[in-house]
Chains A and B, each alone.
Chain A
């Protein structure tokens, strides 16, 4: 953010009263400039100064809440610059002109699984109103959609109908995606603190103006629709909006975005997946698709989990025993670290070999094998401790343990610490595991 500590200091009381908890006004202002402390912690700052500063020290992109979900709040355009903070959300889509809307609503919960400690499911349901359909039919659909238990996006531009729909879904987290250049005043009257207002417009310039007008009316709980004129336009808008907010510090566009791939590629499930991937990587906050099935979910949720991890914190899997290929108590044991990438590569290769293996994952700080070893997180003691603490010897009869080739040096010490166990050094690289295991199993 542009404001420097000295600029803030000029507006401060300069009394060094310490009421804010900092030793001097200068120290306090430096912290404010870094975003470490909020300006209103100083009880003596004049209201004008606070008004001026809180505007300028505000984050470039607002954090918008939809129920328990958090959207926006990003500070960088690329994850390597710091990290992304709010993962995008996926939504299924129904409209009142569809003959199979009921069946689609029933299938919203079809995808639900866990991957590296994260629940993967369709978080939202978009309920769209087609102009030629009667309002009552829409309300009926909204009622059914509410029963799905998902947070809802109501796609309706008629303020009267929107009011009735909102009445129906009281208590459900809602995005009312219906404001545009012409109806924003009426729509704004319906929005409240609990209802996020979606804004769309014919062009990005008109969108910008409409957001300015809504902000002037006091509404800063918005989400911006990138439009459905064409794939090219939608992508351009998503990038321009995010870039304006984060790079050019234009806070008018400092809101999350919504992308409707169901409207951009109607009926084309493959193109919708391609678009969902594109917008997961580039600046979609809510991404709408016709339906989510496992074929789409497995790669998309995996991609999202990858891109929205903090680059400074490695992804970890939970330590424990992972029986692969139907391993039972007689299957051999193998061990590696809890770094998610290592786990996936190793477990994938073991699965490919078809050989039943009990994979023991101990807590190695989320580092790769060599790094964990160098940092002392993977050692003969840590492996022996894991086997002892998890009572492996009473759960598994096999006394053979495969260790990663890169830490072959641990073999002697492990044999000393684990009497009765046969320690076998596996290959250096996971890709060599299939052949190794097949030969090992005979």
Chain B
């Protein structure tokens, strides 16, 4: 008896969400098959790659990164450089400087940075995402002001959480037409609950994506993988509208903050180059995220961006 492949094509599909202005937008989601299963049915929007740019400047202790951004003095210049990176689909500005436990930059300064970066990135033909500093109160204020300042630019704000989704959702999406990522801890029920709450604000699907939480490979990644597997399964097999948002996973910040990517070569000579360890941690984590269903990953290093973009092209 010959082999009969039974493709799994579903009547349900992942929402499509576009961000970025005219001529420079990117579309996430839309698939009606399991992640990367292009052999079951064509996937119109293959996963996308965002390049993370911190407003504190790039990590100068990583030679490849400082070389890539050499001569780009301002954050806006670095963002323009990132936009031109081989394999980059969008730029993600991370407002690290806003952290009240760190530099504690004022909201006004951050808004100014965001505006300059938005101009630079749009000028380079790429859409922009803006990530906060992980301090809920500060982020809420930042997102409101940035939404206002960048009205009409259709940026993606990462992320609204249970504590601030009302303010962020209402101002960013309803008042200023931006897109928002809803972030929950690594758990399918928490993710769904937050999506339900956001939809109750009167926000239509197509305006939000999800950040289901993330972890570097080896650091509890099984929870990330299983949560994404379950979310995609519920979205496709059960047509669960509250889990059909595309998934955006910030991989870079996790990958570059584990011991494997931080310890100096002097401390661990047999481990070899620190930069190479960081790149491989970023690549391995990102590829595993794509396998489980990330519709976009956000990375830092040009080499990881290039490799993951080649992987995505090869699977298309």
Per the 8 Å Cβ criterion, residues 272-294 of B in contact with A are: 272-273, 276-277, 279-281, 283-288, 290-292
The reply to whether B222 and A311 form a contact with Cβ atoms under 8 Å apart is yes
- With a CB–CB cut-off of 8 A, which chain B residues contact A132? none
Name A281's contact: one of B233, B291, B316 (CB within 8 Å): B291
Contact with B along A265-306 (1 / 0, CB 8 A): 000101101111110111000000000011110111111011
With A277-B283, A280-B288, A281-B292 known to touch, is A235 a contact of B222 (CB < 8 Å)?
no
Identify which of A311, A341, A345, A435 contacts B101 (C-beta below 8 A). A435
Contact flag A345-B303 (CB < 8 Å), given A205-B3, A248-B6, A299-B284:
no
Does B270 lie at the interface of the complex (its beta carbon under 8 Å from any beta carbon of A)? yes
- Chain A residue at minimum C-beta to C-beta distance from B223: A341
- Distance in angstroms from A339 CB to nearest chain B CB is 10
Interface 1/0s, chain A 27-50, versus B by CB < 8 A? Answer: 000000000000000000000000
Residues of A within 8 A of B37 (CB): 239
- State which of B6, B221, B308 has its C-beta within 8 Å of the C-beta of A274: B308
| Among candidates A275, A282, A300, A345, residue contacting B219 with C-beta atoms closer than 8 Å | A345
A282 / chain B contacts, CB cutoff of 8 Å: 291
Say whether B114 faces chain A, with CB atoms less than 8 Å apart. no
Contact between B2 and A209 (Cβ–Cβ < 8 Å)? Answer: yes
CB distance from A17 to the nearest CB of B (A): 39
Q: Are B230 and A80 in contact (CB under 8 A)?
A: yes
Measured between beta carbons, the chain B residues less than 8 angstroms from A209 are 2-3
A302 with B221: CB separation less than 8 A: yes
Residues of B within 8 A of A305 (CB): 218
- How many residues on A have C-beta within 8 angstroms of the other chain's C-beta atoms? 59
| B229 surroundings in chain A (CB, below 8 A) | 78-80
Determine whether the beta carbon of B276 is less than 8 Å from that of A302. no
Assembled-state Cα–Cα distance A152/B291 (Å): 29
In the bound complex, residues from chain B placing their C-beta under 8 Å from that of A252 are 3
Q: Which of B218, B277, B281, B306 contacts A306 (CB 8 A)?
A: B218
**If the complex has contacts A232-B38, A278-B287, are A298 and B277 also in contact, measured as CB distance less than 8 A?**
yes
Contact call A78/B271, Cβ cutoff below 8 A? no
Is the CB of A85 closer than 8 A to any CB of chain B?
A: no
- Tally of contact residues, B, Cβ under 8 A: 57
A20 to B: closest C-beta gap in Å: 35
Asked if B260 lies at the interface with its beta carbon under 8 angstroms from chain A, I say yes
Min C-beta distance of A43 to chain B, whole Å: 35
A231 at the interface (CB under 8 A from B): yes
With A274-B308, A294-B270 known, 12 other A-B pairs at CB within 8 A are A79-B229, A204-B5, A232-B38, A271-B311, A275-B287, A277-B283, A299-B217, A299-B280, A300-B284, A306-B218, A306-B220, A345-B219
List 10 tightest A-B contacts by C-beta distance, closest first: A302-B218, A208-B3, A299-B284, A277-B287, A236-B39, A281-B291, A303-B217, A231-B314, A341-B220, A306-B222
Chain B residues with a Cβ under 8 A of chain A: 1-3, 5-6, 8, 36-39, 101, 216-223, 225-226, 229-230, 233, 255, 258-260, 262, 270-273, 276-277, 279-281, 283-288, 290-292, 303-304, 306-308, 310-311, 314-316
Q: List 24 A-B contacts (CB under 8 A).
A: A204-B3, A205-B2, A205-B3, A207-B3, A231-B314, A273-B287, A274-B283, A274-B286, A274-B287, A276-B284, A278-B36, A294-B277, A298-B271, A301-B218, A302-B217, A303-B221, A303-B288, A306-B217, A306-B225, A307-B288, A341-B219, A344-B218, A345-B220, A351-B259
